[in-house]
Structure 1
Amino acid sequence: MRITMSAIKVNVLLVLLFTLVFNWPIFLHFYHALSRLDHVKVGFVLSIPLVLLAALNLVFLPFSIKYLLKPFFSLLILLGSLASYAMLKYGIVFDQNMVQNVVETNAGEASSYLNASVLTWFMLTGVMPTLCLLLLKIEYPTRWYKGVGLRLGGMGLSALLIFAVGALYYQDYASVGRNNHTMAKEIVPANYVAGIFKYVKTSFFTPAMPFLALGTDAVVAAEGHSKPTLMFLVVGETARSKNYSLNGYEKHTNAFTDQEPGLISFSHVRSCGTATAVSVPCMFSNMTRREYDENRARHQDGLLDVLQHGGVGVLWKENDGGCKGVCDRVPTLVVEPKEHPELCKGDSCYDAVLLKDLDQQIAGMKPGNKLVAFHLMGSHGPTYFRRYPASERAFVPDCPRSDIENCTNEELVNTYDNTIRYTDKVIGQLIATLKGLEQDYNVGLIYLSDHGESLGAMGLYLHGTPYKFAPDDQTVVPMLTWMAPRSAQEDGLNLDCLKQEAQAKRFSQDNLFHSVLGIMNVKTSAYDGALDLFKPCRRGV
């Protein structure tokens, strides 16, 4: 026998589900903020759930109509369940960029987030309430005007309650809101619905923009160079600067490169975003972070295109699920896990796979100056333990599971540090490859991570926090350069000067575009010498 319930009562239950279950993270945030205050009004504290109940009731009632209620709220419940888990466990804040990050996550990455905890939460708070809603027999008013009247009455009472609380405690809400800016993005379902709306609008309903060819005047100035240049550009994933022993970290995470002559670590580098979908297109564009526009970046040439315009041979090697558009117009090799069973497990491969057949691939590129870009899997979470082989478990105990919130902090940090150390090993191997080719090329390497990672500090895990709220853990990234001494000398680059610059000055991903053009000796109107971090240390430039 099916249970029968009126549409208004169903709406009340939905409001209670979203308020008391899916919005539990914002209550925790609210009361954490209040616990830091010296004086708190009891009435203000008690009003918080009432305001949220009233606000959700005000928003939900217009959608509690026949033929719309069940499909609309079923989708909202399923998404709300996943969003609330991510917020509760990882401190993730949903906005347009986070929605984009989720949409552009491939199947292999998505599977790394699956574990018993999330599946249990999703079944209990998402699937079961949705099934109950679908099986429920809902009674609607027999006259349309009665239904409209009931909804308008409920909305009016909700608005009146919000107005009354605002009149009494407006200053209290304003004060807490000013000091906790992310709260506005933590209300379920408003946060992910707004994020989805903005993402869809930007991605599918933005007026078409003509493609802008950039740097078509580029040429390679090879005067004074006895050999062509071969540069490795290594794009890191989810590495943060503070965990580099080269930058003062107490663990020996740079065991393979810290004694390498010519290697320089830049200790103060900011990312363009807090997620790959933002940072990678931004760092390969000629735009700075402050002026960066995603739609514009998709419709103009990037760094690799400009290099090609100048006659530089370019190759992109992919091990991280996609280049986010920056390699669309250059030769690209995507790692296929099934072709390298010794270095791959399932859909994920260790970054050492990028060295496979590298010498032959370089030989097969067009003659002259060459740049090979490597997109690493790096420290991609939450399954950090899958980024390094068992032989590279230098820091133990580690955390061999995806529900990282259930690991101790020591285990979690050890696992993450193992990924940093393994990346360092791969960079050391790439440098060794370059040394073997030094007879034929002037060789060098640049490594730059796309963004950092939170490992539990301030209750945050992973990355993707809106940039203006993001901690340094997510925005301060490692950057390394290595030049063979003879190559640096031929290029007029003073490595001692560059080392001093790396320690004394602050840089960002804004510098990558122009620095690579500069070190590759590409002359073009798209180049801005003020953003070339090598320029102050190059003779005659």
Structure 2
Amino acid sequence: MSSIPLARSPLWAEALRAVAQWRPRSTVEALVMLASGYFALTANGPFWQAALGHGWAQWRLAVALFVLLFGLHGLLLGLLLARPWAKPALSLLLVVTAGATFHMQSYGVYLDADMLRNVLHTDWAESRELFTPGLGRHLLVFAGVPCALLSRVELVRRPMSRALLVRAGFLLSMWVLLMLGAAVSFKDLSSLLRNQHEARYLVTPANYLYGLGNLALAHPPTHDAPLLPVAVDARQAPAAATRKPRLLVLVVGETVRAQNWGLNGYERQTTPELAGLDVVNFPHVQACGSSTEVSLPCMFSPWGREEYDEDRIRTHQSLLHVLQRVGVNVTWHDNQSGCKGVCEGLEFESAAASADPALCDGLRCLDEGLLAGLPRRAGADAGDRVIVLHMLGNHGPSYFQRYPPAFKRFLPACETAELGHCSREEIVNAYDNAVLYTDHVLSQAIARLREVEGYDAALLYLSDHGESLGENGLYLHGMPYPIAPQQQLQVPMLMWFSSRFAAGAGLDLPCLRERATQPASHDALFPTVLGLFDVHTAAYVPERDLTAGCRPG
């Protein structure tokens, strides 16, 4: 008996024809309700887990939360979407939401305003590492399929007056639904919001829509609005003109956490080269924030975390501007995505500009490329100088790309950006290899400073924030500060002084080593550096200066 090929089967052909002709009609409000239900069920896994744990025993709370998510997104989308742009805007939301959900599920991140600012201010070299096959598969399923279905929908036209009346009624119904959801389980909801306040940053896409709205209304400083000055009364002590010029290499580390720092007593010796040098290590240092976007402006400001005010910090100059104003030459050498406004208007150089094929791949460079900017000797008219080296350090998730093959010592190491494909041991091994390389770069910097001519040289290293490596299911960094784990907030810090610098500044190094055992924070950077350069200002807080009790004056 002969068989009919499947593609030529009348039933199959009819099915294909039906699919091709499928053009459902829908109102925008019906589309919003479908999208709201879809987001509540597929885009909020981290929220459901945070709110309900791993079980659904709290069925009343689960029902209330679903109604709240449905009503909230119905209200937001009802305000955002109108028939002319509903389909393209919703398609964009589907793609962005799928991407956000993937990274929230993979790394345990929270989408608050600071995290969104990190995303908006990143560069291609950094963001490309997050475009993984896993993300592609997730986007195909959770954005590609619904977008394909959405493309077939034909939206119903209404007269303007009727459309406005229907939309108003729809928004009112979504608001009533929100209130009903809150009433169903008010006691449990109030407990959740009180005990897990940051869980609201897991409600997707409301989290990033709200955050982007906040950022848009925050009026951040632009290139046309100069930063406001700080410490306008700053003056360098007269003695600075008669002593030998000082050179401070200020190394801003990236994503190195105190827990894996060998000098802090870590079970692995991840800092073998520094351990053989006469450095002063500070084992108990708290970061200003859990991300570069927060920590960098904060640590270089006179207010720090103790007097934290984001708007004030971002609209004012930094420590580096104060130093430049009093006559200290300042240069920023960057192997990252910029200085976040800290060096605005000052001399800036990117490590990628060196294009050394031994250290750079066209997008990223190894941190040894930063050392090319260190001087060999002082010029004839040299004065005090600060060189900032902004490292790539341990920036994740591609830890394995942060060090050359010679530092691949802890094995097996995770060699993919998709950390979920690696064991925790492999992730930690790759991370520790990157710390080993940071140890080498710092040691090489100190070796060069020992030989520099014409300067009294010193080095100060301070990481901007730490990193989660799978503890409690969290990876990377950027958690909201109030709930950020200590792995993201405890950072390494060390100082090295040439004998000439220590003698010229009257530094009592044994005293400083004793001081280093006490708790410290990023807030110490501003006054400590001013103190090392004999800068006097009312903005200087001696209690925060780590060297104040160990040198004259």
TM-score (norm 1): 0.91
- Does residue 247 of the first structure (1) align with residue 267 of the second (2)? no
Match of 2:120? 103
Measure the CA separation in 1 of the matches of 2:70 and 2:373: 60
- Is the Cα–Cα contact under 8 Å of residues 73 and 206 in structure 2 kept in the other structure? no
Partner amino acid, structure 1, of 2:536 = K
Match of 2:392? 377
**CA deviation profile, 1:105-128 (whole Å, cap 9, x unmatched):** 011111111110112212222244
Q: Could you tell me how far 1:233 is from its partner in structure 2?
A: 0.6
**CA deviation profile, 1:329-361 (whole Å, cap 9, x unmatched):** 32222112562111112311110111125335x
Change (3 A) 1:217 1:54: closer
- Number of aligned residue pairs: 531
Change (3 A) 1:379 1:27: same
- Is the Cα–Cα contact under 8 Å of residues 306 and 523 in structure 2 kept in the other structure? no
- Does residue 5 of the first structure (1) align with residue 25 of the second (2)? yes
Measure the CA separation in 2 of the matches of 1:146 and 1:116: 46
Taking the TM superposition and a 5 Å limit, the aligned residue runs for 1:512-523 are 512-523=525-536
Measure the CA separation in 1 of the matches of 2:221 and 2:331: 33
Picking from 17, 34, 53, the partner of 1:32 is 53
Change (3 A) 1:111 1:338: farther
**CA deviation profile, 1:458-489 (whole Å, cap 9, x unmatched):** 22111111111111111111111111244323
Taking the TM superposition and a 5 Å limit, the aligned residue runs for 1:106-255 are 106-140=123-157, 142-144=158-160, 146-148=162-164, 150-152=166-168, 154-203=170-219, 211-212=228-229, 214-215=231-232, 217-222=234-239, 227-255=244-272
Measure the CA separation in 2 of the matches of 1:350 and 1:205: 31
Q: Could you tell me how far 1:64 is from its partner in structure 2?
A: 4.8
Change (3 A) 1:537 1:457: same
Secondary structure, counterpart of 1:232 in structure 2: strand
- Cα RMSD (Å): 2.5
- Does residue 18 of the first structure (1) align with residue 39 of the second (2)? yes
Measure the CA separation in 1 of the matches of 2:82 and 2:243: 76
Partner amino acid, structure 2, of 1:391 = A
Match of 2:542? 529
Partner amino acid, structure 2, of 1:52 = L
**CA deviation profile, 1:195-252 (whole Å, cap 9, x unmatched):** 1111121235999687325345422443697532221110111111111111111011
Secondary structure, counterpart of 1:465 in structure 2: coil
Q: Could you tell me how far 1:310 is from its partner in structure 2?
A: 2.0
Change (3 A) 1:295 1:61: closer
**CA deviation profile, 1:406-433 (whole Å, cap 9, x unmatched):** 2110000111111111111100001111
Q: Could you tell me how far 1:444 is from its partner in structure 2?
A: 1.3
Unaligned stretches of 5+ in structure 1? none
Secondary structure, counterpart of 1:239 in structure 2: coil
Q: Give percent identity, aligned residues only.
A: 35
Partner amino acid, structure 2, of 1:411 = E
Measure the CA separation in 2 of the matches of 1:330 and 1:54: 49
- Does residue 471 of the first structure (1) align with residue 492 of the second (2)? no
Change (3 A) 1:42 1:110: closer
Measure the CA separation in 2 of the matches of 1:313 and 1:62: 52
Change (3 A) 1:368 1:71: same
Measure the CA separation in 1 of the matches of 2:291 and 2:69: 30
Q: Could you tell me how far 1:129 is from its partner in structure 2?
A: 2.3
Larger Rg: 2
Picking from 442, 451, 460, the partner of 1:436 is 451
Measure the CA separation in 2 of the matches of 1:311 and 1:229: 12
Secondary structure, counterpart of 2:409 in structure 1: coil
Change (3 A) 1:321 1:447: same
- Is the Cα–Cα contact under 8 Å of residues 378 and 455 in structure 2 kept in the other structure? no
Secondary structure, counterpart of 2:507 in structure 1: coil
Measure the CA separation in 2 of the matches of 1:384 and 1:171: 44
Taking the TM superposition and a 5 Å limit, the aligned residue runs for 1:275-314 are 275-314=291-330
Change (3 A) 1:41 1:194: closer
**CA deviation profile, 1:1-35 (whole Å, cap 9, x unmatched):** 25122124322321222111111221122221768
Measure the CA separation in 2 of the matches of 1:163 and 1:103: 34
Change (3 A) 1:223 1:19: closer
- Does residue 501 of the first structure (1) align with residue 515 of the second (2)? yes
Measure the CA separation in 1 of the matches of 2:381 and 2:39: 59
Measure the CA separation in 1 of the matches of 2:331 and 2:227: 26
Higher mean displacement: 463-472 or 304-313: 304-313
Unaligned stretches of 5+ in structure 2? 1-20
Secondary structure, counterpart of 1:45 in structure 2: helix
- Is the Cα–Cα contact under 8 Å of residues 68 and 182 in structure 2 kept in the other structure? no
- Is the Cα–Cα contact under 8 Å of residues 64 and 182 in structure 2 kept in the other structure? no
Change (3 A) 1:174 1:217: closer
- Is the Cα–Cα contact under 8 Å of residues 343 and 352 in structure 1 kept in the other structure? yes
TM-score (norm 2): 0.89
Q: Could you tell me how far 1:101 is from its partner in structure 2?
A: 0.7
Taking the TM superposition and a 5 Å limit, the aligned residue runs for 1:369-518 are 369-437=384-452, 440-503=454-517, 505-518=518-531
Measure the CA separation in 2 of the matches of 1:442 and 1:138: 73
- Is the Cα–Cα contact under 8 Å of residues 229 and 368 in structure 1 kept in the other structure? yes
Partner amino acid, structure 2, of 1:520 = F
Partner amino acid, structure 2, of 1:89 = S
Change (3 A) 1:493 1:249: same
Secondary structure, counterpart of 2:491 in structure 1: coil
Change (3 A) 1:311 1:154: closer
Partner amino acid, structure 2, of 1:199 = L
Change (3 A) 1:365 1:96: farther
Higher mean displacement: 155-164 or 450-459: 155-164
- Is the Cα–Cα contact under 8 Å of residues 230 and 444 in structure 1 kept in the other structure? yes
Higher mean displacement: 439-448 or 472-481: 439-448
Q: Could you tell me how far 1:508 is from its partner in structure 2?
A: 1.0
Partner amino acid, structure 2, of 1:535 = A
Match of 2:3? none
Change (3 A) 1:395 1:354: same
**CA deviation profile, 1:255-304 (whole Å, cap 9, x unmatched):** 1101212x111111111111112211111111222433444334433211
Q: Could you tell me how far 1:506 is from its partner in structure 2?
A: 1.5
Match of 2:17? none
Secondary structure, counterpart of 1:292 in structure 2: coil
Higher mean displacement: 196-205 or 374-383: 196-205
